Amino acid sequence: MKNILQTFIFIIVLGGFSAGLIFGMDVLTKERIAENANYEWKSAILDHHGLSFNLMTYAETFENEFIKEIETENERDSLFRHKDEDTYSYYFFGGAVWGEINGVITLDSDGITIIKITVLNQQETPGLGGIVAERDYLNNFVGKKFDPVLNLPPPSTENLSDDVIVDQITGATNTSLRFIIILNNFYQQMMVKDSEHPTYIWKSAILEHHNLSTDIDSYLEDFANVFTSVNNQAAEINRVYRHKQEDTYSYYFEGEGRNGEMNGIITLESDGMTIKKITILQQVETPGIGSIVADRDYLDTFVGKKFNPRLYLSPAPGQNEDVIVDQIVDATDTSKSFINILNAYYSERMGS
Q: Is residue 13's pLDDT more than 70?
A: no
Computed over every residue of the chain, the mean pLDDT equals: 86
Confidence of residue 129 (pLDDT cuts 50, 70, 90): very high
Contact 180, 151 (CB under 8 A): yes
C-alpha distances in Å from residue 89, one per residue of 59, 92, 147, 208? 16, 10, 17, 30
Contact 195, 70 (CB under 8 A): yes
Q: Is residue 31's pLDDT more than 70?
A: no
C-alpha distances in Å from residue 135, one per residue of 120, 172, 278? 11, 17, 39
Q: Is residue 10's pLDDT more than 80?
A: no
φ, ψ for residue 295 (rounded to 5)? -70, 140
pTM confidence score: 0.63
- Three state DSSP letters for 258-320: CCCEEEEEEEECCCCCEEEEEEEEECCCCCCCHHHHHCHHHHHHHCCCECCCCCECCCCCCCC
Instruction: Give the E-state strand segments of the chain in sequence order.
Output: 66-70, 79-82, 88-95, 100-107, 114-121, 227-229, 241-243, 249-256, 261-268, 275-282
Quote the CA–CA distance of 283 and 188 in Å, as a whole number.
Answer: 8
Percent of the chain with pLDDT over 90: 53
Q: What is the spatial order of strands in the sheet that 66-70 belongs to?
A: 66-70, 79-82, 88-95, 100-107, 114-121
Contact 278, 302 (CB under 8 A): yes
Region 255-278: mean pLDDT is 93
Task: Give me Rg for the CA atoms of the chain.
Answer: 26
pLDDT in tens, 308-349: 999 999 776 777 889 999 999 888 999 999 999 999 999 999
Quote the CA–CA distance of 240 and 232 in Å, as a whole number.
Answer: 9
Quote the CA–CA distance of 119 and 329 in Å, as a whole number.
Answer: 32
> Terminal CA-to-CA distance of the chain, rounded, Å?
87
Torsion sign across C-alpha atoms 68, 259, 148, 152: positive
Quote the CA–CA distance of 349 and 352 in Å, as a whole number.
Answer: 8
Q: Is residue 3's pLDDT more than 80?
A: no
Peptide bond into 198 cis (omega under 30): no
Torsion sign across C-alpha atoms 173, 174, 179, 182: positive
